[in-house]
Amino acid sequence: MMLKQRIFILDGAMGTMLQQQGMQPGECPEMFGINHASVLGDIHLQYIEAGADIIETNTFGANRYKLAEYGLGDRVEEVNLAAVNIARQSAGSRALVAVSIGPTGKMLKPVGELDFDDMFTAFAEQMVAGEKAGADLISIETMSDIGEMRAALAAARHCTRLPVIAHMTYENSGRTMMGTDPITALVIMEAFQPLAIGANCSGGAGELLPVIAMMNQYTSCYLSVEPNAGLPRLVGTDTVFPDSPENMAEYALKLRDAGANLIGGCCGTTPAHIQAMSSVLKGLAPAQRTGRKIFALASRSRHVILGNTQPLAFIGERINPTARKKLAQDIKEGHMQVVVEEARKQAACGAPVLDVNMGVPGIDEPRAMQQAIADIQTAIDIPVSIDSTNPQAVEEGLKNFVGRALINSTTGEDKQLDLILPLARKYGAAVLGLCLNENGIPERAEDRVAIARHIYKRAQEHGLRDEDIYIDCLVKTASAEQSQVMETIKALSTVKNELQLGTVLGVSNVSHGLPAREIINSAYLAMAFAAGLDLPILNPFDQRMMDIIRAAGVLLNRDNHCNEFINYYRDYKAAVSVPHPICEQCNIPGLLKNSKVESAGGEKNITAPAAAPDQKAEDYKALKQAVLQGNRDGITSLIQNALKEGRKPLEIVNQALIPGIEEAGELYDRKKYFLPQLMMAAETMKKAFAEIKPYLQEGTGDNSGVIVIATVEGDIHDIGKNIVSVMLENYGFKVIDLGKDVPAAVILDRAEQEKADIIGLSALMTTTMPRMKEVIEGVKQRGLKCQVMVGGAVLNQEYADNIGADAYSEDAREAILVARRLMGKFL
């Protein structure tokens, strides 16, 4: 492909065209295309004639889970082979054929029912069939969960040799439904080395323009974009997409200027749209790209970018059971409560990355790593370093972490490199190489650099990029090998300046066996930063080390306008005896919370600790925090303890549980929480109510009303509806979920039978939107005393008003507010 020389044109919507050719609501699009091969082939030809360089196969929903909705789950290969063959025959040599891969319609654990392997397998069988049939490339589209995108990219890279275009879909907020921003998505996707990354569907081209422009600043990867022809509107009885071919052509030029290399269309776009876009783009070279590589790690909704212009970062070291009996016992017993608490406290102290080590002798380390990673990312959302020399444990951690992790670590020995490097490639991880081989740690800096060069060479042979490789030059103790201390700094400087790789260092080993270790550690940290250190591994509760990080940020010009330093030390005063600020902030046992500490240069002015709080208030605070943090494992014991202490069940509900879930909702509104955190809070609330329900008197529960909810007839999409159902139930509503593809008569009958207060209707397809009006008219005809709330990605307030709905909700959180308003209850 000549993506550096010219813009490539992708085709437009497939569903829109199939509907125009007679496909009925509820009919399987993939089977319609196979059963009407000439119709499907003609659609492909229309797009080629309109100027498309790449046509996409009619396989968007041809994975085992989507096909199973039509009883076709065992015909994945057959369906994909047939669809690719039809596209291949139409394209000939005039266009490339991309096998279209859409989402499974399922969600990953712990929110959903599938694990990484389930999704990986589903995508792999679809992609392998596409490659077998002769597809030229893979186009992954309309992914709203970066975890699902990881599984798709891993399957494409591991099971096929086809180039990949990877598209996420974004909401008005600029994030995906699951809370991922474009740069975080870029960091995660780019690690799998696709041909192009970008965005599709979403709203119109105007909404995706800033997404592409933002991505362009951080990547040298090609960019692809396929916007909708705007959001659909109801005109009479017809559903119409508002953006004309001329309007899309105008935006196509803007998208090209923003950095897009591949431009096409999604919902509502037709050959006329593609022709208009092609006519203005044909012959144009892509906009000039500076191209850059970035060293970065990411979680689901956060990214940490390293480099000379970025803030200094570090890895929190405390999730390591070595010489820590309580933590080791927690891991051994499989509770992970201490592990999660350590994660929360380090995050609260500003750790941008957490090291996770499960090295307890005699345990099933892979299983422990899987559980720890799952529990940690439920509680907090920051990148992790998976610390193990056990390849199985590393792989379990990588599978279950939704983001781009760092593997800590591999030595320079070939047998170890051959075990670890393929895992980094398969799962899009970065890898830390130790300047250590079968002969131990070399004394001289140049010999350590030689091992680093070997790791670098082997990593390249395994298909890793420079920005996937980090090196630890290893610290020796000053007390035993004082002459070796500066060799590490020399080696680090060479790795950074000559090899230009990422650098990591476990700083605190330098002071082992010496008094006043924090003084040695902090001095060494400052020297390492000056030499080019990217990520020290340290204790974020060590105030002196944190002081060095903030000060070094200023001196190395990494703290823009000294903002962070000024904000933190605004109230800095001369040295005084005070409670340790980190311990006071995080309430960490064992760190002498009320002891006095001094800093040679002074401390922030911290007020003395308050008197011991009321125990009842502390119990309710702990319960509220458990809901807020989605602590499903801990909520049961907290409720049991509160009941044993004589707390009243209704008080627990009203003063702890309900305030917790309401604050979670408020945090979601303020974009501090995203859908995964909100759903985990709701799941924790559900478990809490199940535990406390037997102790509540009959009639004391918060029955907010009865809601019958369904996806309308002909529509098999139900992720959004399922999320709304869970959230409503955990806010006290009695929810009767009728599922998907539900006829209007069934919805009305059940609403009448249950004496429903509200009917909730969902639709994700423009062809099924009119079914909502049928239900609304049925409510009036039957004289039912209930109100109708509608929602779905293709809906808006205007459409809801036009069909006579009582209310419209944009997402799960708004559905709760709307339902309460309809019931006359306000937050």
How many other C-beta atoms lie within 10 A of the C-beta of residue 85?
18
Judge contact between 675 and 812, C-beta under 8 A: yes
Per the prediction, the chain carries an average pLDDT of 91
- Rounded mean pLDDT of 263-288? 96
Of residues 245 and 689, more confidently modeled: 245
Judge contact between 374 and 108, C-beta under 8 A: no
Q: Is the pLDDT of residue 107 over 50?
A: yes
What does the pLDDT look like over 648-680, one tens digit per residue? 988 998 899 989 988 988 888 888 888 888 888
Judge contact between 779 and 744, C-beta under 8 A: no
* Strand order from edge to edge, sheet including 196-201: 8-9, 262-263, 222-227, 196-201, 164-168, 137-143, 96-101, 54-56
Least confident of 8-12, 201-205, 536-540: 201-205
Backbone angles phi, psi at 641, to 5 degrees: -65, -40
Burial level of 490, CB count in 10 A (0-12/13-18/19+)?
middle
Q: Is the pLDDT of residue 311 over 50?
A: yes
SS3 of 717-778: the string is CCHHHHHHHHHHHCCCEEEEECCCCECHHHHHHHHHHHCCCEEEEECCCCCCCHHHHHHHHH
Quick one: angle between helices 658-669 and 812-822, nearest 10?
120
What was the pLDDT predicted at 486?
97
- Rounded mean pLDDT of 274-289? 94
Do the domains spanning 11-21+56-281 and 705-822 agree at the CATH topology level? no
DSSP 367-390: HHHHHHHHHHHHH----EEEE-S-
The CATH number fitting domain 705-822, selected from 3.40.50.300, 3.30.70.100, 3.40.50.280, 3.40.50.1970: 3.40.50.280
What was the pLDDT predicted at 729?
85
CATH number of 11-21+56-281: 3.20.20.330
DSSP 652-664: HIIIIIHHHHHHH
What was the pLDDT predicted at 457?
98
Domain ranges of the chain: 11-21+56-281, 558-601, 615-695, 705-822
What does the pLDDT look like over 548-576, one tens digit per residue? 999 999 999 999 999 999 999 988 875 54
What was the pLDDT predicted at 827?
40
What does the pLDDT look like over 326-374, one tens digit per residue? 999 999 999 999 999 999 999 999 999 999 999 999 999 999 999 999 9
- β-sheet bridge partners, residue 304: 297
What does the pLDDT look like over 595-633, one tens digit per residue? 333 333 444 443 444 444 588 889 999 999 999 988 888
What was the pLDDT predicted at 686?
85
What was the pLDDT predicted at 600?
35
The CATH number fitting domain 615-695, selected from 1.10.1240.10, 1.10.3720.10, 3.40.605.10, 1.20.1740.10: 1.10.1240.10
What does the pLDDT look like over 749-770, one tens digit per residue? 999 999 999 999 999 877 788 8
Assigned token pair, 295: 């060293």
What was the pLDDT predicted at 591?
32
What was the pLDDT predicted at 34?
98
Share of the chain above pLDDT 70, in %: 93
Which of 400-409, 560-569, 657-666, 716-725 has the largest mean confidence?
A: 400-409
Rounded Cα distance, 496 and 556, in Å: 15
Q: Is the pLDDT of residue 182 over 90?
A: yes
Alpha carbon distance, N-terminus to C-terminus of the chain: 55
At residue 203 the predicted structure's pLDDT band, cuts being 50, 70 and 90, is: confident
